[in-house]
Chains A and B, each alone.
Chain A
Amino acid sequence: MIELKETTIEELKEKAIELRKAAVTMVYKAQSGHPGGSLSAADIISALYFKEMNVDPANPKWEDRDRFVLSKGHVAPIQYAALALRGFVPYETINTLRQYGSPFQGHPDMKKCPGIDISTGSLGQGLSCAVGMALAAKRDEKEYRVFAMVGDGECQEGQIWEAAQTAVKYELDNLIVFVDYNRLQIDGTTDEIMPLQDIEKKFEAFGFETKNIDGHSMEEIVAVLDEVRGSTNGKPKCIVANTIKGKGVSYMENVVNWHGVAPNDKEYAQAMEELAGGLK
C-alpha cells in the first residue's frame, strides 16, 4: 500500500511558494548558488515532499522510505527548502547555505544532511544511482519508489542514457524520472548548446512509459503522479515537465544568466514581494 499525505492542490501551491521563498533566501544569504533551476523545479518538489513521497523526517534513513535523487544537484536549495519545511533539519538552516559546517553544502551531501539519499553535483551521475536504489527495491521485494529529477541540459551526458537502458532492462516500474525541461543551461538555450531533439520520444524509444506535463500546473503534476502510482507494467516512468527557469520571480524567468548568480538586496526584496503574490 502506498501511503499518501492528504494535501490539497491549494496547499501544495502554497508550499511551492514557501519553497521558492526559502530557496531564494538561501541563495541570497549565501550570495552564491543556483536560483534559476531551483525555481523551475519548485512545484514538482512541492508535490513530492508534501504529498507523494513516503518519508519520515524523524527517521530519515528509514529503509522503506521512498527515495529522491536530485541528479541535477546544483539546485540543492530547492530540495533543502523542502527538507527544512518538512522538519528534517531546523528551519533556520536555510540561513547557512554553502557556509562552513552547514548541512546545506553547495551540492547535496548525504553524509552531512539528513534526507539526502545520495550525494550529487557532477551532472549525469544521479540517475544511475536512482536505478541502483530502484533495483534494490525489486530484489528485496520492497514497495518503496524512487523519484529522480534530471536537468534537460544534463540529458546531454551519455551516462543518463546508460542509466535509462538499465532501468528498462530491469523493468523498474518503481522509478519515476522527472525531466525539468526549462530549455536553458549555462552557456545558453539547450537548442543553441546541444539540441535535445524530442526528449520525450527518446525516453520512449528506450522503453520508458512517458508523460508530458506543464511542470508549473499543480493540477497536472498531481494528476500525473496519480496516473503512475502503483504501476506494475514493468516500465520505468519519465515525466517531461515543461517548465520556466526562474519561475515565480519575473526578472529571473527565462533569463539564462540567472542560472548561477545570487540576487542583490534590491533584487531579493523584489523577489520576496513577487512571491508573496503567488505564481502568475
Chain B
Amino acid sequence: MSVTNTPVAKKATREGFGDEIVKLGKENKNIYVVDIDIGKSCKTTAFMNAFPNQHVNVGIAEQNGAGLAAGLATTGKIPFISTYAVFGSLRMAEQIRQEACYPNLNVKIACSHGGLTPGNDGGSHQAIEDMGVYRTMPNMTVIMGADYHSTRKLVEKAANTYGPMYLRFTRDAVPMIYDENEEFEIGKAKQLKDGKDVAIIANGDTVYLALQAAEQLEQEGISVKLLDMHTIKPLDREAVVECLEIGKIVTVEDHNILNGLGSAVSEVVAEEGKGKVRRIGVQDRFGESAPYEKLMELNGITIENIVATAKELLN
C-alpha cells in the first residue's frame, strides 16, 4: 500500500461522501439520496441539484425517512439516507432494524458528524454510540473511513454491495492519509505498517493519530503493526488473529469504548484465548461543548496516550 509521506492536506470525510455520491448517481439511476433537512451540512446539495429525480427531502422526520428508504429499496433503488450520526443511528434505530435489517434490504445510512467531531454543538450532537448500536443488528455492515479518499472508495463499495450499511463521516477536516488510487474492500483491514512489538488497530479520524503514534514509537525503537479497521462489522477477524502473533494490541476509536472497535477486537482476542488489549476511545461519558481536539484530549484519544498505552503494554 502507499501512504503519502507528509500528510498535510486535510478534508472532512463528509466531503468524500458528497463528491462520491454525485459520481455514483450519474452512473446508476437507482442511487437515491434521502435528505432530512440537513443536506447542506451533509454535503448532498450537489447531488440534489444534479439529480432531482433521485432525490427526496422528507423534512425533519428521521423515522419517516428511514421507512421511506426501505420502501424505495423494495423497488430496487439504492437509497442513501443522509443526516447527522446521532439521529441516523439512534432516532431511526428501530425503523432501520425492522424495515432494513430484518428484511435485509439495500438501505444505506450515510452520516456526517460522527464521534466527537461536532465539538461545539455539545453532547446532544456528538454520536458516541452509533457504531455500537448498528453493530448489534444482524445483516448490518458498519464502516468509517479514515480520510477523504478512503471514504470515497468505501462509499463506492457500499453502493455496489448489497445489504443495509451504516457509513459514518467526520464533520471536521481530517488529514489525508491515502492517495486516490488506494483500493479498499469492505470487511478487510488495511495494513499501514507491519511490526513485531505491538499492534495498533484504529479507525476513522483516529487512524491519523495512530499513524503519528506509530512513527514516534518506531523512533524509540519499538516496531509497530498498524491496521486501519475501517469496517468494524463484519470485522476482519483474520487480521485481528494475525495481531495475536504479537499478542499486544491497542485499539483507538472516536466512539464509546463500549461496543465499538475496541469491543469487537476484544471479543476475538477473548475467544482466541491469548493476547492483551487496551482500548482507547470515549470513556463511556457524554461529551460537552468544546473544540474537537479538546474533547479528544479529555478522553485520552491522543498521540501521547497511544504511545504511553503501547509502552505500558510492552512492560
Residue interface bits B22-50, CB-to-A below 8 A is 1, else 0: 00000000000001011111000000000
- Residues of chain A lying within 8 A (CB to CB) of residue B291: 100
B35 touches A187 (CB 8 A): yes
Q: A194 an interface residue at 8 Å Cβ cutoff?
A: yes
Name the residue on B nearest A32 (C-beta).
Answer: B120
- Residues of chain B lying within 8 A (CB to CB) of residue A193: 37, 57, 59
B121 touches A153 (CB 8 A): no
- In residues 115-129 of chain A, which contact B (Cβ within 8 Å)? 119-124
Name the residue on B nearest A72 (C-beta).
Answer: B60
Q: A156 an interface residue at 8 Å Cβ cutoff?
A: yes
Q: B290 an interface residue at 8 Å Cβ cutoff?
A: yes
- Residues of chain A lying within 8 A (CB to CB) of residue B62: 157
A185 touches B122 (CB 8 A): no
B38 touches A121 (CB 8 A): no
Residue interface bits B56-68, CB-to-A below 8 A is 1, else 0: 0111111110000
B64 touches A186 (CB 8 A): no
Name the residue on A nearest B39 (C-beta).
Answer: A187
Whole-angstrom CA separation of A123 from B62 in the bound complex:
10
Stretch at the interface among A2-10, A101-109, A133-141: A101-109
Q: Which of B40, B124, B290 contacts A186 (CB 8 A)?
A: B40
Q: A106-B120, A122-B91, A124-B60 are in contact. Are A187 and B37 (CB under 8 A)?
A: yes
A187 touches B289 (CB 8 A): no
In this complex, the member of B39, B86, B123, B291 whose beta carbon has the largest number of chain A beta carbons within 10 angstroms is B123
Q: Which of A98, A100, A120, A158 contacts B61 (CB 8 A)?
A: A158
- In residues 9-55 of chain A, which contact B (Cβ within 8 Å)? 30, 32
A102 touches B59 (CB 8 A): no
B60 touches A157 (CB 8 A): yes
Q: Which of A100, A105, A186 contacts B123 (CB 8 A)?
A: A105
Q: A99 an interface residue at 8 Å Cβ cutoff?
A: yes
B57 touches A187 (CB 8 A): yes
- In residues 175-201 of chain A, which contact B (Cβ within 8 Å)? 185-187, 190, 193-194
Q: B294 an interface residue at 8 Å Cβ cutoff?
A: yes
- Residues of chain A lying within 8 A (CB to CB) of residue B87: 122
B124 touches A121 (CB 8 A): yes
A125 to chain B, nearest CB (A): 9
- Residues of chain B lying within 8 A (CB to CB) of residue A207: none
B105 to chain A, nearest CB (A): 21
Q: Which of A30, A102, A121, A158 contacts B125 (CB 8 A)?
A: A121
A109 touches B37 (CB 8 A): no
Interface range on chain A (Cβ under 8 Å from partner): 20 to 34
B124 touches A119 (CB 8 A): yes
Whole-angstrom CA separation of A100 from B59 in the bound complex:
32
Q: A73 an interface residue at 8 Å Cβ cutoff?
A: yes
A36 to chain B, nearest CB (A): 14
A106 touches B41 (CB 8 A): no
Q: A209 an interface residue at 8 Å Cβ cutoff?
A: no
B124 touches A98 (CB 8 A): no
- Residues of chain A lying within 8 A (CB to CB) of residue B19: none
B57 to chain A, nearest CB (A): 5
A109 touches B122 (CB 8 A): yes
Q: A154 an interface residue at 8 Å Cβ cutoff?
A: yes
- Residues of chain A lying within 8 A (CB to CB) of residue B215: none
A158 touches B59 (CB 8 A): no
Whole-angstrom CA separation of A122 from B63 in the bound complex:
13
A105 touches B122 (CB 8 A): yes
In this complex, the member of B35, B39, B122, B288 whose beta carbon has the largest number of chain A beta carbons within 10 angstroms is B122
In this complex, the member of B37, B58, B62, B291 whose beta carbon has the largest number of chain A beta carbons within 10 angstroms is B37
Residue interface bits B115-156, CB-to-A below 8 A is 1, else 0: 000001111110000000000000000000000000000000
B123 touches A109 (CB 8 A): yes
- Residues of chain B lying within 8 A (CB to CB) of residue A185: 37, 59-60
Q: Which of A99, A120, A122, A190 contacts B289 (CB 8 A)?
A: A99
- In residues 56-90 of chain B, which contact A (Cβ within 8 Å)? 57-64, 86-87
Whole-angstrom CA separation of A186 from B289 in the bound complex:
21
Whole-angstrom CA separation of A186 from B120 in the bound complex:
18
Name the residue on A nearest B63 (C-beta).
Answer: A158
Q: A30-B120, A105-B122, A106-B122 are in contact. Are A187 and B40 (CB under 8 A)?
A: yes
A73 to chain B, nearest CB (A): 7
B289 touches A153 (CB 8 A): no
Q: A121-B125, A122-B86, A193-B59 are in contact. Are A100 and B290 (CB under 8 A)?
A: yes
Name the residue on A nearest B87 (C-beta).
Answer: A122
Whole-angstrom CA separation of A112 from B290 in the bound complex:
14
Name the residue on B nearest A76 (C-beta).
Answer: B122
- Residues of chain B lying within 8 A (CB to CB) of residue A30: 120
Q: Which of B60, B61, B122 contacts A121 (CB 8 A)?
A: B122
B293 to chain A, nearest CB (A): 11
B64 touches A107 (CB 8 A): no
- Residues of chain A lying within 8 A (CB to CB) of residue B120: 30, 32, 98-99, 106
Whole-angstrom CA separation of A190 from B290 in the bound complex:
31
Nearest first, the 4 A-B pairs at minimum CB distance are A194-B59, A121-B124, A106-B122, A100-B290
Supply 9 A–B pairs (Cβ within 8 Å), ascending by A.
Answer: A98-B120, A99-B290, A121-B121, A121-B125, A154-B60, A157-B62, A158-B61, A186-B40, A193-B57
Residues of A whose CB lies within 8 Å of any CB of B are 30, 32, 73, 98-102, 104-107, 109, 112, 119-124, 153-154, 156-158, 185-187, 190, 193-194
